[in-house]
Structure 1
Amino acid sequence: MKNWTLQKKWTYSSAISIFLSFLIMSIILYFSIYNWMLISEKKTAQNTLNELVLFFESKGPIITIQDIKRNTTLLNQIVNQEQSVRLMNTDGIEVLRINDASNFPPFSKEFSTDFKRSIIDNQLSFHKVAEIQFGTFIGYVEISHSLDNFSRLMKYILSAMFIFAVISLVLSALIGYTLSSVLLKPLKELRNEMQHAKQSKFSKEVSFQYSKEDEIGELLVIYKQLMNEVSETIKRQDDFIYNISHELRTPVQVVEGHLSLLNRWGKNEKEVLADSLEISLNEIQKMKKLIEEMLKLARSENAKNEVATNIVDVLTTIKKEFVSLNPIVSIDISAVETAVVAVPHTALEQIFRNLIENAIKYNDKTPYIQITATKKQQSIAITLEDNGIGIPPEHLPKVFDRFYTVETSRTKSRGGSGLGLSIVRMLVAEYEGIVEIDSIEGKGTIFQLEFPFVSIFQ
C-alpha cells in the first residue's frame, strides 16, 4: 500500500468502509428478522396447540372422527402451517394423528414450557407436548410445527443480502473512484505544477488557479508563498555567488600576478620582492576578512541564544580596541550602566564593531562617533552618529543589501566588502530589533537601533 496512489487508496478505503458498514447493518438486520420470525413461528404453533386442547376438552367426553373433520378451520390451519398433531394415551401410544407434514421426536413425559427445536429426517421443526383430559380419557396432545418455510425464507433473505453486499461493494468502489477523480483533480494539477516548477528550477510563476476556499485553496496559497520564497532565495543565492566570486577574483588575480612576477625574475630583486610580498599579504588579508564576514553572516542566521548583554560593557571594550589602534579616533558613550538587551555579547559586539569600522573607514576628518542608549516604553533605543562622508539619499534604501556598495571606486580604495551593514541588519532582525539609517552627504551618518526592553533600568 506504500506505493499506492492517493486515488487508489481513496477508492479501496471508501469501497471497504461502505461494504463493511452495509455488511454490519445486514448482519444486524438478518438476526433481527431471524429472531422476529422465529418468535412468530412459535406463536403460530402455540395458538394451534391451544385451539387443539380447547377443542378436545370442549367436545368430550366422546369425540368422533366426524367431529374433527367438521372443524375445517382448525384443520385448514394445521395443513396450511405444515403442522402435524398426534394424540397419545398416558403410555405414550399414539391414538390419533392429524396431518403428516412434520415428523415427531421420540415421546417423552418430561414436558417443557417452551417449544423445542429439533431436526428429524433432515427436517427442522418445533414440537411441544400438552396434557389433555376429556371424559374418562387422560393423555397428551403433541404438535410438530415444520420450519421448512422459515428456513427457505431465511436462506432467501441471506442470499439477497449477499447479492446486495456484492452490489454495494462494486457501487461503492465506482462511487469512490469517481469522487476521488473529481476531488483529487486539483491536487493532480498542483502536483504537475510543482513538477514543472522543479524542471524550470522555480523560475516560472505559478499558473495553477483554484478559487475555492477549502483545504486545497489554503494549500495553493501556501505553495505560492513558498514558491516566492524559494525564488527569492535562489535569486539571493545566485547574487551571492556572483558577488563573492567577483569580490574574490580581484585579490586572487593580484596575488597570482605578483607570485608569477616573483617566479620569473623577482626572486633576486629585494625591492620587488618586498613590494610583491606586501601587496600579496594585503590582498590575502582582504580575502580573509571577506571570508570571516561571510561566516559571521552565516552564523547570524542560526538559532539565537536567550541571553542578556549590558550595552555599556560591550561599547567600553570596543572603544578601547579602536582607540588603541587609532588614537585620533574619538568615541563618546552615553548610556546608563544598567542598559541591557536580549542579544548575545558576540552578536552585539559584531553589530557595533561593523558600524564603528564604517564610521572610521568612510571619514575624511578626525573620526568622531557619539553613541547613546535611552529607554523607551517597551524598548531600548541606541543611536550611533558619526561625522563621516555620508551617503547620498538615493543609496540609503539599498545600503543594507549584501555586497551593495555606494561607489565602487571609494569602496575599493577603503577596503570595503559590502557585507558589514548586511551583517548588522541580519543580526538586529535575528534578535527582534530594528535598524534605521539617516545620512547627509558630507556631514555624517546616523544609525538608530531598537531592541525589546529587558529591564535596562532597575
Structure 2
Amino acid sequence: MIKHWTLQRKWTYASAISIFLSFLMMCIILYFSLFNWLQISEEKIAQNTLDEVTHFFKTNGPIISIQDIQKNRTLLNQLVNQKQSVRILNEDGIEILRINDASDFPKSSSLQTEKFVREEINGKAVFHKVAEIDFGLFKGYVQISHSLESFSQLMNYILIAMGIFALIALLLSALIAFMLSSILLRPIKELRDEMQLAKQTKFSKKVSFQYDNEDEIGELLKIYKELMGEVSKTITRQDEFIHNVSHELRTPVQVVEGHLSLLNRWGKEERSILDESLEISLSEIQKMKLLIEEMLKLAKNEHSNNWEASSVISVLQQLQQNYLHLSPETTIEIQGDEQVNVLVPPTALEQILRNLIENAIKYNDKRPYIKVIAVNQADKVQITVEDNGVGIKESMLPKIFDRFFIADEARTKNKGGSGLGLSIVKSLVIEYGGTISVFSEEDKWTKFSILFPKLTSE
C-alpha cells in the first residue's frame, strides 16, 4: 500500500512520526528523570522526619508525656503537612504510641530496615521505614509511614500533560511537514507536469519550467533540459534518417518491383528481357546494399565519438545481478581488481560481455558455469570469459566472428541464434582499439580473451 502513496504523503507521515517519536522519547526520559528525582526528594523528607523523631525521643527521655509531644509544634506540623504517621513499637514489635494517623502502616514488616520501602497499602502508595530507638529505660523501634499520594498525583498530572503535549506535537509536526513538503515538492510536481506535457507533445515542446536555486532540483532540471535537448536532437535525426532512407530506398525498390512484374508478365520466354531485367535488378540491389552500409558506417562513427572510461568489475557485477533473475541456474564467477578500467563506454562494454555470457548460457548442455577474469597487464587490460559449454570445433574457430555464421546449425537450431552476436562483439572490440581471440575444446569448454589498451592518467 505504501508504494502507492505520493512522495508528499510519505514525507508528511515520516516527518510527523519522526518528530513525534523524538518528542515522545524526550518525554519518557524526562518523566522517569522527574519520577526518580521527586521520589528521592520524598525519601529525603521522610528520612528527615524520622531523624527528628528519633532525636526528639532520645533528647527528652527517659520519661516523655503526651504533652511533651504536643509542645513540639514543628514536628507535628511537619507530620501533618507531609501526611506522615509515626508509631513507637516495643522490643516485641507491639505498638505503644502513634502520632498523626494520616498514613497507613503495613500489617507486617521487619522491625528494622536499612532503606525506605515503597509499598501499596489499601490502594495508596507509602514509604515506610523502621529504625531502632534507645533512650533511658526504654528500648524499642520507631516506624514512619510517609504518604506518596501527593507525589502520585503530581506524576499523574505530569503524565497527562506530556500526553497532551505529545498529541499536540504530533498534529503540529504533521501540519508543518505537510506545509514544508508542499513547498519543497512544488518544483518536482511542476517538473513532473512538464515531463507529462513533453510526453503528450512527443517532445516537440521546449522546456518552459524555470528554477533558479542551485540545489538538487536545480541539478535535476539541468540534466532534464540536457536530456530533452538530446532527445529532441535524436528524434530530429531519427525523422531525418527515416525520411532519407525511405526516399533513397523507394526508387531502387520500385525499379526492382517493376522489372519483376515485367518478367512475370512477358519476360519468362524472352531471353533478352530476362537478362536485362535481372541485370538491372541486381544493380539496384547492389545500390541498396551500399546505401545500407554507408548508413551503418555513419551510425558507427557517431557512436565512437563518445568514449569514456568504464570499470570492468562494476559492469560484470551488474550483469551478474541481472542473470540472477534471467537465468537463476547459471553461475557467474568474477575475479579481478576493482581498479581495472578500460576506455570503453559502459553500454558498449556491457554489450560485449553480455553477448559472450549469453552465448555461454545458450550453447550449454549442463548447468552453466562462467568464469570472468579481468586483470591489468603491463600495457594492456585482459578480460577472459570461460564457460563449460558444448565448445566449438577447431575447424570452425576462424569463422565464428563472421556475420550470420552458426557453428553447428543442427545442434543449435532450437537456441534462437542469428549468427550476429559474435560479429557485433568483434566489431565493438576493434572499434575501441582492442583485439579478441577464442580458444575451445569441443564438448568441454570455450574461452574468449579480449585485450584493450590500458587506461593511463593522461
Normalised-by-shorter TM-score class: 0.5 to 0.7
Q: Which has the higher contact order (CA 8 A, sep 6+)?
A: 1
Partner residue of 2:176? 175
Determine the C-alpha separation between the residues in 2 that align with 1:112 and 1:130: 7
Query: 1:376-395: per-residue Cα shift (whole Å, max 9, x none)?
Result: xxxxxxxxxxxxxxxxxxxx
Partner residue of 2:150? 149
Q: TM-score, normalised by structure 2?
A: 0.65
Determine the C-alpha separation between the residues in 1 that align with 2:155 and 2:110: 33
SS in 1 for 2:262: helix
Q: Which amino acid aligns with 2:283?
A: N
Kept in 2, the 8 Å contact 1:92–1:107? The answer is: no
Kept in 1, the 8 Å contact 2:93–2:111? The answer is: no
Q: Could you tell which deviates more after superposition, 292-301 or 52-61?
A: 292-301
1:111 counterpart = 2:108: no
Partner residue of 2:402? none
SS in 1 for 2:155: helix
Shift of 1:285: 1.4
1:51 counterpart = 2:52: yes
TM-aligned CA distance change 1:294 to 1:157, over 3 Å: same
Determine the C-alpha separation between the residues in 1 that align with 2:121 and 2:238: 91
Determine the C-alpha separation between the residues in 1 that align with 2:109 and 2:195: 83
Determine the C-alpha separation between the residues in 1 that align with 2:110 and 2:190: 81
SS in 2 for 1:119: strand
Kept in 1, the 8 Å contact 2:84–2:102? The answer is: yes
Determine the C-alpha separation between the residues in 2 that align with 1:233 and 1:191: 22
Partner residue of 1:209? 210
Shift of 1:189: 0.4
Query: 1:91-111: per-residue Cα shift (whole Å, max 9, x none)?
Result: 111111111111111354542
Kept in 1, the 8 Å contact 2:85–2:100? The answer is: yes
Q: Which amino acid aligns with 1:3?
A: H
Q: Which amino acid aligns with 1:163?
A: I
SS in 2 for 1:141: strand
Shift of 1:123: 1.2
TM-aligned CA distance change 1:155 to 1:144, over 3 Å: same
1:24 counterpart = 2:17: no
Partner residue of 2:132? 131
Q: Which amino acid aligns with 2:270?
A: E
Determine the C-alpha separation between the residues in 2 that align with 1:83 and 1:265: 130
Partner residue of 1:264? 265
Paired residues, number: 318
Kept in 2, the 8 Å contact 1:88–1:96? The answer is: yes
Query: 1:219-267: per-residue Cα shift (whole Å, max 9, x none)?
Result: 1100000000000000000111111111110101111111222223233
Partner residue of 2:70? 69
Partner residue of 1:245? 246
Shift of 1:81: 0.4
SS in 2 for 1:203: coil
TM-aligned CA distance change 1:19 to 1:109, over 3 Å: closer
Determine the C-alpha separation between the residues in 2 that align with 1:42 and 1:268: 126
Query: 1:18-75: per-residue Cα shift (whole Å, max 9, x none)?
Result: 0000011011000000000010000000000000001111111211111111111110
Kept in 1, the 8 Å contact 2:111–2:141? The answer is: no
1:10 counterpart = 2:19: no
Q: Which amino acid aligns with 1:170?
A: L
Q: Which amino acid aligns with 1:131?
A: E
Q: Could you tell which deviates more after superposition, 221-230 or 256-265?
A: 256-265
Determine the C-alpha separation between the residues in 2 that align with 1:267 and 1:55: 142
Partner residue of 1:191? 192
Q: Which amino acid aligns with 1:96?
A: L
Kept in 1, the 8 Å contact 2:111–2:131? The answer is: no
SS in 1 for 2:128: strand
TM-aligned CA distance change 1:107 to 1:453, over 3 Å: closer
SS in 1 for 2:3: coil
Q: Which amino acid aligns with 1:61?
A: P
Q: Which amino acid aligns with 1:137?
A: F
**Identity across matched positions, percent:** 69
Q: Which amino acid aligns with 1:99?
A: N
Q: Which amino acid aligns with 1:204?
A: K
Q: Which amino acid aligns with 1:153?
A: L
Q: TM-score, normalised by structure 1?
A: 0.65
Unaligned runs of 5+ in 1: 307-341, 344-425, 433-451
Partner residue of 1:37? 38
Kept in 2, the 8 Å contact 1:104–1:127? The answer is: yes
TM-aligned CA distance change 1:303 to 1:83, over 3 Å: farther
Partner residue of 2:414? none
1:102 counterpart = 2:74: no
SS in 1 for 2:204: coil
Q: Which amino acid aligns with 2:25?
A: I
Shift of 1:276: 1.2
Q: Which amino acid aligns with 1:199?
A: Q
Aligned-residue Cα RMSD (Å) equals: 2.8
Shift of 1:300: 6.2
Larger radius of gyration: 1
TM-aligned CA distance change 1:178 to 1:453, over 3 Å: closer
TM-aligned CA distance change 1:454 to 1:118, over 3 Å: closer
Determine the C-alpha separation between the residues in 2 that align with 1:258 and 1:298: 32
Determine the C-alpha separation between the residues in 2 that align with 1:453 and 1:95: 102
Shift of 1:200: 0.5
Kept in 2, the 8 Å contact 1:102–1:146? The answer is: yes
Q: What pairs up with 1:351-430 in 2 under 5 angstroms?
A: none
Determine the C-alpha separation between the residues in 2 that align with 1:225 and 1:157: 59
Kept in 2, the 8 Å contact 1:85–1:142? The answer is: yes
Q: Could you tell which deviates more after superposition, 289-298 or 266-275?
A: 289-298
TM-aligned CA distance change 1:128 to 1:213, over 3 Å: same
Shift of 1:453: 11
Shift of 1:268: 2.8
